[in-house]
Amino acid sequence: MSTQVGDVVESAAASAASSEYLGTEAASSVGAKTTETTPLPWTWLEILRIVVMALCISVNVYLGLLAKTSVPVREKERESSSSDVDGRSEGGGEGTDQAESNYKNDNKTANTCASSSSSSTAAAAAAAPSPPPVLIVIAHPDDEAMFFGPSILSLSRDYTVHLLCLSTGNYRQEGTIRQRELVASCELLGIPRDCVHVVHDEVELPDHPTRMWTPQAVAARIIETQRAVGADKIVTFDEHGVSGHINHRAILPGVLHAQANGALMEKTRVYALESTGIIRKFSGVFDVMITANAPHACFCGWREVLAVRAAMQAHDSQYVWFRRLFILFSRYTYMNNLVLQSPPQSAQDKKRLQQIRDTKSKDK
Ligand SMILES: [Zn+2]
């Protein structure tokens, strides 16, 4: 008996869980009931692992179903059909169904740019009106894969997604490489090369963790691109920038600055990607329990999750161990929640905006 106890105690000491898992009382009772108490922690851990895996699989299946039915951004617009840029009616399920059908057939061709040079694409565009454009604004190459994957894939079902990257990601002198990686990543997310717009401005918009971009500089680039592509919907980071990077946080003030000055297209809607606390941020697929009821939520099915991971892998120069872990555990691989930003609401703001518009119309 004494030999058995010694073996068990030695075995338990060799494991990482021994005395800590057993606790003081359990450790002191090893002599009495060693064979019953020592295996328990590992048994429960195994059960816990199986339960977690089962939950992951079931929730991912659930998300796959959601991915087929969720149409982000559009939900609230249906409440005011007059502002629907598609010209689809209130019960416009037919058009949406058609767009989703196209996406199911080939999600890589769902997002088509007007400037695409492909003859087959041009023929298809002539036969059917191209989807309305939406502009996604990011700060660096890889933001689109790390944070906006679900938004891009979901919006591609109904919109032509244009991506504006406000820097080349040249902080470590890798700007040229990172631009190439951005194009490759976007193609994996269904955004053609012609729809990827990269700003080269090392003076006013450098990729730098301590140099703040001014709202004026950000606004100027966004206004320019918005007019070029004709998108009246803009999606970008919120004021916290998800990761807190100073360049991420500078974009929304720039967009709102442009909107407050009446420089954006009329009826432009601005959506910001919600930043969450650290627990939700790394809760992966489980955050669906909170995000499911959000009005403009975007979800990935399992195939789309693989597309997001592949897009991040395209950023070879950035795909280090902590970004691998981020892609694995982050909720932003599986879902996004877009929050509609209110345009200037005060009477003073409205009056100022009207004055600006009146002045512009007189100038014309
Ligand atoms: Zn970034």
CATH of the domain at 184: 3.40.50.10320
Going from the Cα of 154 to the center of ligand 1, the distance in angstroms, rounded, reads: 21
Residue 289's pLDDT band, with cuts at 50, 70 and 90, is confident
pLDDT tens digits, 97-120: 333 333 333 343 345 554 444 444
Q: Cα separations (Å) of 198 from 97, 111, 195, 260? A: 33, 18, 10, 25
Classify 7 as helix, strand or coil. Answer: helix
Q: How far is the CA of 174 from the centre of ligand 1 (A)?
A: 14
In this structure, is residue 309 part of a structural domain?
yes
- Say if CB 246 and CB 283 are below 8 A apart: no
Give distance in angstroms: CA of 339 to centre of ligand 1: 19
Radius of gyration of the chain (CA): 25
Residue 82, domain member (yes or no): no
Contact by Cβ (8 Å): 268, 73 = no
57 within domain boundaries: no
Q: How far is CA 289 from the centre of its chain?
A: 17
User: Please, which residues have CB within 8 angstroms of residue 213's CB and are 6 or more apart in sequence?
Assistant: 166, 204, 205, 247, 250, 251, 254
Q: Rounded to the nearest whole angstrom, what is the distance from the C-alpha of residue 139 to the centroid of ligand 1?
A: 5
In a domain, 176, yes or no: yes
CA of 196 to the centre of ligand 1 (A): 16
- Find the 26 Cα to ligand 1 centroid distance in Å: 49
Tell me how far the alpha carbon of residue 199 lies from the centroid of ligand 1, in angstroms: 14
CA-to-CA distance for 93 and 104, rounded, in angstroms?
16
pLDDT band for position 45 (50/70/90)? confident
Rounded average pLDDT over 346-360? 62
Find the 248 Cα to ligand 1 centroid distance in Å. Answer: 6
Residues 29 and 214: their CA atoms lie apart, in Å, by: 66
Q: In this structure, what token pair is assigned to residue 216?
A: 């004026």
Distance in Å, CA 48 to ligand 1 centroid: 35
Give CB contacts under 8 A, 24+ apart, made by 23-30: 30/5
Cα 52 to averaged position of ligand 1 atoms, centre (Å) = 31
Residue 278 domain-assigned? yes
Express each pLDDT in 164-214 by its tens digit: 999 999 999 999 999 999 999 999 999 999 999 999 999 999 999 999 999
Distance 239 CA to ligand 1 centre (A): 14
Q: Return all residues near 167 (Cβ < 8 A) that are at least 6 apart.
A: 139, 140, 199, 201, 205, 206, 207, 247
The pTM assigned to this predicted structure is 0.69
Q: Is residue 315 part of a domain?
A: yes
* Other Cβ atoms within 10 Å of 227 Cβ, number: 12
Residue 56 alpha carbon to ligand 1 centre in Å: 28
Least confident of 112-126, 222-236, 252-266, 294-308: 112-126
Average pLDDT estimate for 25-52: 61
* Domain span at 175: 131-349
Determine the average pLDDT of the residues in 239-252: 96
Q: Identify which has the larger pLDDT, 329 or 82.
A: 329
Interval between CA 14 and ligand 1 midpoint (Å): 44
Going from the Cα of 332 to the center of ligand 1, the distance in angstroms, rounded, reads 13
Q: How far is the CA of 228 from the centre of ligand 1 (A)?
A: 24
Q: What pLDDT sits at residue 277?
A: 95
Higher pLDDT, 23 or 48: 48
Residue 324 covered by a domain: yes
- How many separate domains does the chain show? 1
Structure-token pair, residue 105 = 């057939």
d(CA 58, CA 141): 33
Side chain identity, residue 273: L
Residue 116 is assigned to a structural domain of this protein: no
**At 4, which helix (H) or strand (E)?**
helix 2-14
pLDDT of residue 112: 54
- Mean pLDDT is lowest, of 39-53, 162-176, 182-196, 342-356, for 342-356
